[in-house]
Structure 1
Amino acid sequence: MNTLKRIMVGLDLSEMDDTLIRYTAFLCSISEIEKVYFIHAEKSLEIPTEVLEDMPNVIPADERLKVALEDKVRQYFGPDHRTQMAVQVVEGTPLKELLHWSKIKQIDMVLVGRKLRLRGSGVLAHKILRTGRMSVLFVPENAHPVLNHIVVSVDFSEYSLMALDRILHSALTRPEVQITCLHIYQVPTGYITLGMRYEDFDERMQGFARDKFEQVVARFPELGDRANLKLVKQGNDDDMGELIVVEAKREQADMLVIGAKGKSAAALFVLGSVTEKILRHNNDIPMIVYKKSNEAIGFLDALLSED
């Protein structure tokens, strides 16, 4: 079962485009992705009238940009590449156009750049994360095209198990790819009222996690012997997002996978979720945020209908 058939890549005519196209070509080479849509949105494609008067044979802006982007894409996708590709240059704001065309093209995942030093604010990545509907792969500007080890953040909720299920059936997880299920746990202060020592309750919490992991392995037999559970205790002063990123780096992960719960329109722009904290601290590891497609649809439709 391949749940990754059609992907969309957001381009902005910066150096980040090369990283995104190169990484996309790599993903297509190791999977059965059928079609890739490269899309660039310009706020205005209109050419001033005075320019048209002086240059009557000027090529329309969208056509000129499309040709340039097609040339760049061909640098990474050879003529024998089996994946179908399409380049679109559209007029409008990047966020709105990405959401609109991902809906029209029935996209399974959107790839966006994660900038650290390159030109650009990176605001688009955060806005896409907040929409609550699209699964997104954030590609850092220094990303390397390799995928041997995936770390999946697992708290045993339906969202983290959904993410594990999706990555297992994405065709990216080849048999040789190792999977680490990272579980962050806390020892609740209430252990004192039970008359137990801290060390004993800590061991009990780890035992609970191992039992749940055994249930996960039974639910996903395709994990086989290539998956392992890593337990990490969160201290009172530890930032959950930072801790997940640090542990993923310690594992030398090539990709970090999480499942994010959608937000209501009222809470959409409230920061502080674990997902956004992870994104805030993660500047180096490609990261997939899986979403449930039926969440926050009302807000998304309202956004797409704006003038």
Structure 2
Amino acid sequence: MYQIKKLIVCLDQSALDDTLVRFASFVAQVNQTKKIYFTNVIRNMNIPKEVLEEFPNLIQNMVDERKGKMKDLVAKHFGKQDGIEFSFVVKEGQLSKKILKLAHEKSADMIMVGRKVELPGTGVLSQRLARRASCSLLIIPEHAVPKIDKLLVPSDFSDYSKDAMEEAIMIAEKYGGKAKIYCQNVFSIPSGYHFTGKSYEEFASIMEMHAEINYKKFIRKIDTKGIHIKPLYTKDEDDDPVEDILGKAAEIKADGIIIGAKGRTAATALFIGSLAERLIQMNDSIPLLVTRPKGKNAGILDYILEI
């Protein structure tokens, strides 16, 4: 996978900014990050022309004030980190549209956004960016603590699951190889199992056995770099694998969940997968990384067409 050399951090002047900047510092420490764009988007202000004529410096003063607050926050958490260039960007307009455009123009490797729980706001931005961005997306919930002792990678053994696993291995390697990686496969029992003459328990054992076989085939194709990966097999009892994933993440006290976006080409760019979509919607406590190989999306096309 790729280095996170260019990172976009989306700030909104709420209490969540503090958490996001701390995470940005954590990510940048060992990722050879060269440039971080701290971004704040002002919604369309619709200031009357007459007001702007009377106060010509109104907008510029607002921009300068926001940049100043971002600079103070970054100075608080970053200290001195040689080799990292900071840029503070304040734009006016539609939030997702401006971020997508910036990510495309700067060829960003990752976008970092916040996930509000108690603070005002919604998760719509995260879903839009996950569908349209041409890079990975890291979603940080309120009060999250930057550490990666345990990573959970939900997997159906597909190519995009392979992307997520390789990303998890790279992250673990960069943080000293001490992080534990759990690869979770959620399997279900087909409704027609009884026609086989097997009991529910017997067919569940058969499904788990095939999951174990497929995991071995899957992991053989990946360079684990000596990182220990523990497979987990979860039987889906209620046709809701997202609940199973979040339940397992809570059980193992995961510090992050990593999942691959389903769309790997421009033609499938908007389809990140129903599992990733619902994880973005339902997860409000654990950092979630939605991986997409850089450039494997038509994000700028979405921007132009305003889909």
CA contact (8 A) 1:152 1:182 kept: yes
CA contact (8 A) 1:7 1:109 kept: yes
How far apart in 2 are the matches of 1:87 and 1:211?
A: 49
Partner SS for 1:151: strand
Pairing 1:166–2:167 present: yes
Q: Which deviations, in whole Å up to 9, do the C-alpha atoms of 1:280-306 show, x marking residues without a partner? A: 221100000113556551x74142355
Give the partner amino acid of 1:184.
Answer: V
Q: Which deviations, in whole Å up to 9, do the C-alpha atoms of 1:228-265 show, x marking residues without a partner? A: 00110001x24221221111111110000111213999
Instruction: Tell me the residue number matched to 1:229.
Output: 231
CA contact (8 A) 1:132 1:261 kept: no
Instruction: Tell me the residue number matched to 1:275.
Output: 276
Q: Which deviations, in whole Å up to 9, do the C-alpha atoms of 1:181-234 show, x marking residues without a partner? A: 011001223333333333332222222222222223322232535210011000
Partner SS for 1:129: helix
Instruction: Tell me the residue number matched to 1:215.
Output: 217
How far apart in 2 are the matches of 1:294 and 1:58?
A: 34
Quote the sequence identity (%): 30
How far apart in 2 are the matches of 1:154 and 1:57?
A: 51
Partner SS for 1:221: coil
Pairing 1:94–2:95 present: yes
How far apart in 2 are the matches of 1:169 and 1:263?
A: 20
Instruction: Tell me the residue number matched to 2:124.
Output: 123
Instruction: Tell me the residue number matched to 2:6.
Output: 6
Per-residue deviation at 1:133? Answer: 3.9
How far apart in 1 are the matches of 2:164 and 2:294?
A: 12
How far apart in 2 are the matches of 1:57 and 1:176?
A: 51
CA contact (8 A) 2:153 2:257 kept: yes
How far apart in 2 are the matches of 1:267 and 1:159?
A: 12
CA contact (8 A) 1:47 1:61 kept: no
Partner SS for 1:163: helix
CA contact (8 A) 1:11 1:38 kept: yes
Partner SS for 1:256: strand
Instruction: Tell me the residue number matched to 1:24.
Output: 24
Q: Which runs of 5+ in 2 are unaligned?
A: none
Distance 1:56 1:173, change over 3 A: closer
Task: Single out whichever of 142-151 and 56-65 deviates more from structure 2.
Answer: 56-65
CA contact (8 A) 2:10 2:38 kept: yes
Instruction: Tell me the residue number matched to 1:42.
Output: 42
Q: Which deviations, in whole Å up to 9, do the C-alpha atoms of 1:90-147 show, x marking residues without a partner? A: 2221111100010111111100000000122332122222326442100001101211
How far apart in 1 are the matches of 2:2 and 2:266?
A: 31
Q: How many residues align?
A: 305
What TM-score results when the alignment is normalised by the length of structure 1?
Answer: 0.86
Per-residue deviation at 1:266? Answer: 11
Pairing 1:254–2:255 present: yes
CA contact (8 A) 1:99 1:304 kept: no
Task: Single out whichever of 214-223 and 248-257 deviates more from structure 2.
Answer: 214-223
Task: Single out whichever of 256-265 and 15-24 deviates more from structure 2.
Answer: 256-265
Per-residue deviation at 1:168? Answer: 2.3
Distance 1:152 1:21, change over 3 A: same
Task: Single out whichever of 53-62 and 38-47 deviates more from structure 2.
Answer: 53-62
Task: Single out whichever of 206-215 and 267-276 deviates more from structure 2.
Answer: 267-276
What TM-score results when the alignment is normalised by the length of structure 2?
Answer: 0.86
Distance 1:17 1:150, change over 3 A: same
Give the partner amino acid of 1:220.
Answer: I
Distance 1:207 1:55, change over 3 A: closer
Distance 1:305 1:242, change over 3 A: same
Instruction: Tell me the residue number matched to 2:184.
Output: 182
Distance 1:86 1:269, change over 3 A: closer
Distance 1:247 1:26, change over 3 A: same
Distance 1:58 1:250, change over 3 A: closer
Distance 1:230 1:50, change over 3 A: same
